[in-house]
Amino acid sequence: MRAARLIKMVLLLQSRPSMTAAELAQELEVSERTVTRDAQALSEAGVPVYADRGRAGGYRLIGGYRTRLTGLARSEAEALFLSGVPGALREMGLEDAASAARLKVSAALLPSLSDASRSAAQRFHLDAPNWFAEPKSPELLPAVADAVWDDRRVGARYRGREGEVERDLEPYGLVLKAGVWYLCARVPDGGSFRVYRIDRFTAVTAGEARFERDEEFDLPGFWEERAEQFARSILRAEVVVRLSGAGARGLPYAVDPAAAREVLAAAGPPDGDGWVTVTLPVESEEVAHAQLASLGPEVEVLAPESLRARFAGDAVRLGRLYKT
């Protein structure tokens, strides 16, 4: 434990001109007294740590000292590629590995590039969760992530539509979509690839056996295909609507964008009022009511009659509310 802390202290001092005892204590999660003892231990071991006295003082390395302890471990290198997604790293249990990797990279950089990590962090930040949604980290995510990194088969219990089921899986990859974690996995012995929500796992046990990955498996491509299939699969109903010019422009923002673009591209010419009529696939009448209501007077529902009646009722109620 102390050896790792001493190495981290050297890397911190190597990546910055100087650091106060308070700054080091915060980074190393120890007391300032421990920082003083560690600095003395490094000095006795031949590492030229110099302590500047006074209010503006601190610790620094002298003589252009450069440590050779910059080799990246595999987990650190993998975590470094995800370092722009701090929340995801934390939830997968890789935050410490990423921190160590960034320190090693900073220590290896030339002095003129020492601010590269801070410069990048001030210019790009990924905030993955949706607005107005409280992000929740699935309890079993770290265990699943470990199996993904290690190509290790897992036994899992999963809450499906028909109750809880048990599965043996080969975990290929993780996807974070709008704050929700998904596992892309294959059933062992050449089975099909499937997608599972991590928060629906009730138990995950990694075995000793590793699986041989299909090198042709493309995680981004697989996810894009499955996401499109899922979006289409939930559009089980149809509605017929008339849209004004403004309504047509707003339709992709109110309903499934791909479905909206497809029906608009296939629409006939506008009528005498400049409106177009389309048959739109939707998830259900209830969902269509909520989505199309956002278009206000720029949409007219023609069918089904039950949905048209809902909008007619809305119009009557709005007329009463805004009657002058």
CB 173 within 8 Å of CB 219: yes
Q: How many CB atoms lie within 10 A of CB 265?
A: 8
Distance CA 317, CA 264 (A): 30
Q: According to the model, what pLDDT value does residue 93 have?
A: 67
pLDDT of the chain, 324 residues: tens digit per residue: 576 777 788 778 877 778 888 888 888 888 888 888 888 888 877 788 888 876 667 888 887 676 655 555 555 555 555 555 556 666 666 666 666 666 666 565 555 545 555 555 555 566 666 676 666 778 898 899 889 988 999 999 999 777 888 989 999 998 888 778 899 999 887 778 999 999 999 999 998 889 988 888 899 899 988 888 887 788 889 999 999 999 999 999 999 888 899 999 999 999 999 999 999 999 899 999 999 999 999 999 999 999 999 999 999 999 999 886
Contact (CB, 8 A) for 193 and 218: no
Residue 147 token pair: 């199996």
Q: Quick one: pLDDT at residue 240?
A: 96
Angle at 4 between CA 150 and CA 67, to 5 degrees: 105
Q: What is the pLDDT of residue 181?
A: 87
pLDDT of the residue at 320 = 92
> Strands, E, within 244-306: which ranges?
276-282, 299-303
Question: What pLDDT sits at residue 177?
Answer: 83
b/e per residue 15-50 (b: at least 16 CB within 10 A): bbeebbbebbbeebebeeebbeebbeebeeeebebb
Cβ–Cβ under 8 Å, residues 157 and 203: yes
3-state secondary structure of 87: helix
User: How far is residue 194's CA from residue 103's CA, in Å, rounded to a whole number?
Assistant: 37
